[in-house]
Structure 1
């Protein structure tokens, strides 16, 4: 009695005697005695080589079998990208893998994950399928990135998307905003030379031009804020309150020049600076309002006196002209009479004489008076 074993074209057989591997079987039909202790394990060559319950090492002494197998050893510090017929099939982690090389053409890309950045030969189309084994960092168009391996600075990164292996090396990317930024100092108390305590609102615009230097400074923004504070205290402490209120623009120019002296230390370029508000204590504000009111009153009194003086001078000049010119005197009298008549509804005259004579008598005869 025989038992028949058929091995198809896409299959291969492994013959075992008494449970031990004996030889490799090509496609075909084989008859085995039913009474023998021979068995055949049939494997599909489109799938990875594996025999259930048997260690791979049992088969590696068979040179005929090894010619049709690819044996891939992956070390602990490696990943292997597996391609079948030019298409990505999967990623192999540490271990031993065996693939049939008969029906499909296999290719392998071996990478050392101790070098975290993905090599250029890893196609961009494949990278999204590797997300379980790598991490990504993005640097926006208005940013600059700085790459760190195990907290040690490596290099500056331009805008783009970057892939790194998840491995023994800790990878971090810190980004720095290169757009113009603003630093506000609000309600900062300062004392002038004449011991007046005031509160100042100041603003400063800057841009980071050296990202590596900026990241080297701990609490970067806090240190710049303190530097601005010290410069303002230094300058305002040399000014009296009146001078300070008159020199707001000069303060901004001084502070900006002093900040630019420190710009390389912080890796920035200071663009502009300015005083937004000067807030005075209530009692000082009341005093200044009183002084301002007194000044305005004095100016008003001065203007009034000037007007009165000009008016008196004008009357004196008119009187001199009238005294020297009788015709002008009579015209002035008629002008006053006209103004009086504008305010009188009716005029009643008694006695003889015509109207002109009686009006003339009201004005009086100046020549007679002189006689």
Structure 2
């Protein structure tokens, strides 16, 4: 083989050996059905799909302990970036690709273009009033420009994680515990606003950010429970006093109405009699029904005629 070409040895139409550039291969003259096909290496070009499938099927992607083919599968919803000697050569759409790994360094990076989620878990952070909290955060992002992300970031996933982590620490460290508990969504909104523009510069779209959990230490949780209990008791007492005041005001208004209306007063007396009668199995009447109606129940004292 020449220095700028690679060879494939076919026996009975099947690939049996890969010949590296500058190598030699010797066989018997009377060997039948042996053919050597050479392929130029001047330009980086993908290996034919049929040839690639045959080489991979025969396990010829590695020869002499070294890789002779660099291949990758780009699934749907992904994009591949082909680098030649450290420089971006082209982008690869979904499919299977293979390149000869001779005379150059070939690398294929695959980026998932679908929505992805990253979790920032177990972050121990001090609030502005020096309360230690443990928080869990998740975020959803998507690669809008994989080429820009690959060219400017060594590890895009690691950068996204660290950027969100720092934003979370800054958002929590500048607020008191009461502020954080009063509006948990405020932290998410601040982080989203802070990181969205920063990630956009690297071809990454931040879709949403959410604080899943704010975990308090045991002692602080007990103290807060006591505070909440005291607040609820105070609210309950306030409602009770308000209802008692309303009931007293209603009784006062009723008394004034009965004082001015004897008929209404008599109706109240009969209602009281009805309630008493419901609790008694047997009533003995002396003095006639008029005595029962007039003297048994009376809400006011008899007035003595002068």
TM range (shorter): 0.7 to 0.9
Contact 2:129 2:176 in 1 (8 A): yes
Q: Which residue of 1 aligns with 2:283?
A: 347
When you count helix as a share of all residues, which structure comes out higher? 2
Contact 1:75 1:95 in 2 (8 A): no
* Post-superposition CA distance 1:61-90 (Å, at most 9, x none): xxxxxxxxxxxxx5233246899xxx9798
* Post-superposition CA distance 1:318-339 (Å, at most 9, x none): 2222222223323322322222
Q: Which residue of 2 aligns with 1:78?
A: 5
Q: Are the structure 2 counterparts of residues 368 and 293 from structure 1 closer, same or farther at C-alpha, using a change threshold of 3 Å? A: closer
Q: Are the structure 2 counterparts of residues 311 and 79 from structure 1 closer, same or farther at C-alpha, using a change threshold of 3 Å? A: closer
SS in 2 for 1:369: coil
Q: Note the C-alpha offset of 1:265.
A: 4.2
Contact 1:214 1:267 in 2 (8 A): yes
Structure with max Cα Rg: 1
Q: Are the structure 2 counterparts of residues 301 and 174 from structure 1 closer, same or farther at C-alpha, using a change threshold of 3 Å? A: same
TM alignment of 1:285-304, pairs within 5 A: 285-304=221-240
**Alignment partner of 1:197 is 2:132:** yes
User: Structure 2 length as normaliser, TM-score?
Assistant: 0.77
Whole-angstrom CA distance in 2 between matches of 1:229 and 1:92: 49
Contact 1:116 1:166 in 2 (8 A): no
When you count strand as a share of all residues, which structure comes out higher? 1
Whole-angstrom CA distance in 1 between matches of 2:18 and 2:264: 123
Contact 1:116 1:171 in 2 (8 A): no
CA RMSD of aligned residues (A): 3.3
Q: Are the structure 2 counterparts of residues 268 and 366 from structure 1 closer, same or farther at C-alpha, using a change threshold of 3 Å? A: closer
Higher relative contact order (CA 8 A, sep 6+): 2
SS in 1 for 2:304: helix
Contact 2:272 2:297 in 1 (8 A): no
Q: Note the C-alpha offset of 1:278.
A: 0.7
**Alignment partner of 1:356 is 2:275:** no
User: Structure 1 length as normaliser, TM-score?
Assistant: 0.65
Instruction: Flag structure 1 segments of 5+ consecutive residues without an equivalent.
Output: 1-73, 98-106
**Alignment partner of 1:112 is 2:48:** no
Contact 1:114 1:167 in 2 (8 A): no
Q: Which residue of 2 aligns with 1:22?
A: none
Q: Which residue of 1 aligns with 2:169?
A: 233
Contact 1:114 1:169 in 2 (8 A): no
Q: Note the C-alpha offset of 1:341.
A: 2.1
Contact 2:73 2:94 in 1 (8 A): yes
**Alignment partner of 1:269 is 2:174:** no
TM alignment of 1:204-219, pairs within 5 A: 204-216=139-151, 217-219=153-155
**Alignment partner of 1:145 is 2:73:** no
* Post-superposition CA distance 1:201-255 (Å, at most 9, x none): 1111111223234334234323322211221222222222111112222221211
SS in 1 for 2:110: strand
Whole-angstrom CA distance in 2 between matches of 1:267 and 1:218: 13
Whole-angstrom CA distance in 2 between matches of 1:231 and 1:81: 55
Q: Are the structure 2 counterparts of residues 361 and 204 from structure 1 closer, same or farther at C-alpha, using a change threshold of 3 Å? A: closer
SS in 2 for 1:340: helix
Q: Are the structure 2 counterparts of residues 117 and 337 from structure 1 closer, same or farther at C-alpha, using a change threshold of 3 Å? A: same
Q: How many residues align?
A: 281
SS in 2 for 1:290: helix
Instruction: Flag structure 2 segments of 5+ consecutive residues without an equivalent.
Output: 27-34, 62-67
Q: Which residue of 2 aligns with 1:101?
A: none
